[in-house]
């Protein structure tokens, strides 16, 4: 009689005794003339189920096909394991090789598969333990994000990926066009976008925030969670050309409420990971980053330090005077580099930091202006090992001030009329922030390179698959 397959995760939690059916991929095979031990994994957990095959019961040719990477269907009895490391194993009565895997050619043969090497076989790397763990954690975090906002009554707002808005200046944009690039229509010496698909110049979004504000000033509290595109030519371990961003936007929140929400949010996510991804975190901790679990617990048990930009500059200037060497200079008015952010977080405060009150000239036009006339109510949340993980602000709610700032910066008001309408009609104080999903994952998984926390990374000169 056929029985239903059970996933490895479930099998490992069962009591011995049942007849079971398992399916998965061979991770390793070892043994001797009498008995073979096969570690079988199916991606449901980092752990494998051990298959014990008495060689007397199986054709030698069949067992030869059981090589690393091959896919199997195994039927047998779940028995108590005498070996260490697992409570139960399967004593096999039937083994079927679903798909062979040529050991000479399989790219994941080598034991010492470095992350660099795996990036070169990115189409297969998802099969490794490391990427299995990363993918499960990535899923858990996405689920937790929706769950967090849902429990607070936020509305998940879908903002457009194709947009005409380039006003925010958050990053360089990828243009979207159906024009024939070998034969571009020209009018008066310029590209004639009226001939383009949308009848105007369009790009991929660098942020859903401005549209998010339309949602927040309608239904109160929204969040977006979607792909974001920035044509940044910076080949750093923290930047992707296509990444995912979560952008909550809240009516009636001031900067204090905003900071409180951001802190509660990341703590919720970190706790969710510790509670629900323990096996995967332990694996990554042991393999790549011994301090990982401790660092995650550290975030939960601490209150983030709130520091003004001006005070942070003083701290950094003092550090420089005391002999600390930074690659980039720092003085009031400069944007911090990640070396500065990490000094504040890792060396000076020893905990996550929320920086506030930035010089208005290094921040976007929509941030609420402080009384001093020089600073705006922005906030960046800085994390150990990563630097900026969240960027946000209280928004300028005053119509006149917003319009003056747009003019000051030489931006076109005409293209922003739709946005300015939020301030024209029933304006309210409101705030929001953007969390880079992959930056969060860098922190939660302990991986060092952002290319290793997204399944199919897009970076300059790299868009495989």
Which residue, 212 or 436, is less far from ligand ATP as judged by CB?
436
Q: Which of 6, 75, 125, 230 binds ligand ATP (CB under 6 A)?
A: 230
State the Cα–Cα distance between residues 361 and 180, nearest whole angstrom.
Answer: 39
Asked if residue 434 binds ligand ATP (CB under 6 A), the reply is yes
> CB atoms < 10 A from the CB of 323, how many?
6
Q: Which of 254, 256, 289, 388 binds ligand ATP (CB under 6 A)?
A: 388
Which residue, 230 or 377, is less far from ligand ATP as judged by CB?
230
| β 190-191/305-308 pair status | unpaired
DSSP string over 151-168: HTT-EE----SEES--TT
| Least distance in angstroms from the C-beta of 94 to ligand ATP | 48
Find the part of the chain contacting ligand ATP (CB under 6 A) among 69-77, 143-151, 179-187, 384-392: 384-392
Query: Which does residue 100 touch among ligand ATP, Mn ion, none (CB within 5 to 8 A, set by kind)?
Result: none
x-marked contacts with ligand ATP along 157-196 as a string, rule CB under 6 A: -------------xx-------------------------
Asked if residue 391 binds Mn ion (CB under 5 A), the reply is yes
| Least distance in angstroms from the C-beta of 374 to ligand ATP | 20
- Helix (H) / strand (E) element for 50: namely strand 49-54
> CB atoms < 10 A from the CB of 362, how many?
13
Q: Which of 149, 193, 243, 343 binds ligand ATP (CB under 6 A)?
A: 243
Which residue, 25 or 149, is less far from ligand ATP as judged by CB?
149
Asked if residue 69 binds Mn ion (CB under 5 A), the reply is no
State the Cα–Cα distance between residues 208 and 217, nearest whole angstrom.
Answer: 14
x-marked contacts with ligand ATP along 108-137 as a string, rule CB under 6 A: ------------------------------
Asked if residue 439 binds ligand ATP (CB under 6 A), the reply is yes
How many residues sit in the footprint of ligand ATP (CB under 6 A)? 16
Residues in Cβ contact with 131 at an 8 Å cutoff, skipping those fewer than 6 apart: 118, 125, 452, 455
List strand residue ranges (DSSP E) for 242-329, in order: 242-251, 305-308
Which residue, 130 or 224, is less far from ligand ATP as judged by CB?
224
Sign of the torsion formed by the C-alpha atoms of 55, 58, 64 and 70 = negative
DSSP string over 152-210: TT-EE----SEES--TT-SS---EE--S-TTS--EETTEE-GGGSTTSS-EEE-S-SHH
State the Cα–Cα distance between residues 460 and 122, nearest whole angstrom.
Answer: 16
State the Cα–Cα distance between residues 274 and 271, nearest whole angstrom.
Answer: 5
Residue ranges in contact with Mn ion by CB under 5 A: 391
Residue ranges in contact with ligand ATP by CB under 6 A: 170-171, 230, 232, 239-240, 243, 245, 388-391, 434, 436, 438-439
């Amino acid at each position: 009689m056929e029985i239903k397959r059970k996933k490895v995760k479930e099998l490992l939690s069962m009591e011995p005794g049942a007849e079971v059916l398992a399916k998965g991929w061979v991770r390793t095979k070892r043994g001797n003339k009498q008995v073979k031990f096969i570690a079988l994994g199916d991606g449901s957990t980092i752990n494998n189920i051990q298959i014990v095959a008495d060689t007397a019961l199986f054709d030698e040719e069949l067992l030869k096909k059981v090589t690393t990477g091959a896919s199997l269907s195994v039927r047998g009895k779940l028995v108590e394991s005498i070996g260490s490391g697992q409570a139960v194993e399967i004593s096999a009565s039937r083994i079927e090789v679903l798909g062979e895997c040529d050991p000479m050619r399989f790219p994941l043969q080598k034991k010492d598969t470095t992350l660099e090497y795996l990036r070169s076989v990115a189409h297969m790397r998802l099969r490794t333990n490391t990427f299995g763990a990363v993918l499960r954690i990535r899923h858990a975090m996405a689920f937790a994000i929706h769950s967090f906002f849902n429990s607070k009554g936020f509305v998940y707002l879908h903002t457009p990926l194709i947009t005409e808005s380039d006003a925010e200046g958050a990053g360089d944009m990828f243009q979207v066009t159906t024009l024939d690039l070998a034969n571009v229509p020209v009018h008066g010496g310029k590209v004639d976008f009226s001939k383009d698909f949308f009848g105007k110049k369009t790009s991929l979004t660098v942020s859903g925030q401005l549209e998010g504000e339309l949602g927040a000033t309608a239904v109160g509290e929204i969040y977006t969670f979607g792909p974001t595109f920035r044509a940044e030519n910076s080949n750093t371990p923290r930047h992707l050309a296509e990444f995912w961003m979560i952008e909550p936007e809240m009516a009636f929140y001031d900067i204090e409420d905003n900071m409180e929400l951001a802190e509660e949010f990341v703590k919720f996510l970190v706790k969710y990971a510790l509670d629900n991804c323990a096996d995967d975190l332990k694996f990554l901790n042991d393999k790549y980053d011994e301090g990982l679990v401790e660092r995650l617990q550290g975030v939960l048990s601490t209150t983030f330090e709130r520091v003004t930009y001006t005070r942070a500059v003083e701290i950094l200037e003092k550090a420089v005077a005391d002999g600390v060497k930074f690659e980039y200079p720092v003085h009031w008015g400069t944007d911090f580099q990640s070396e500065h952010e990490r000094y504040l977080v890792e060396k000076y405060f020893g905990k996550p930091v929320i920086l506030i009150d930035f010089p208005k000239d290094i921040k976007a036009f929509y941030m609420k202006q402080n009384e001093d006339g020089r600073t705006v109510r922005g906030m960046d949340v800085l994390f150990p090992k990563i630097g900026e993980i969240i960027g946000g602000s209280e928004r300028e709610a005053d119509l006149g001030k917003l319009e003056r700032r747009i003019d000051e910066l030489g931006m076109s008001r005409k293209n922003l009329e739709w946005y300015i309408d939020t301030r024209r009609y029933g304006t309210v104080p409101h705030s929001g922030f953007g969390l880079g999903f992959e930056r969060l994952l860098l922190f939660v998984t302990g991986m060092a390179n952002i290319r290793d926390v997204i399944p199919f990374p897009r970076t300059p000169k790299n868009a495989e698959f």
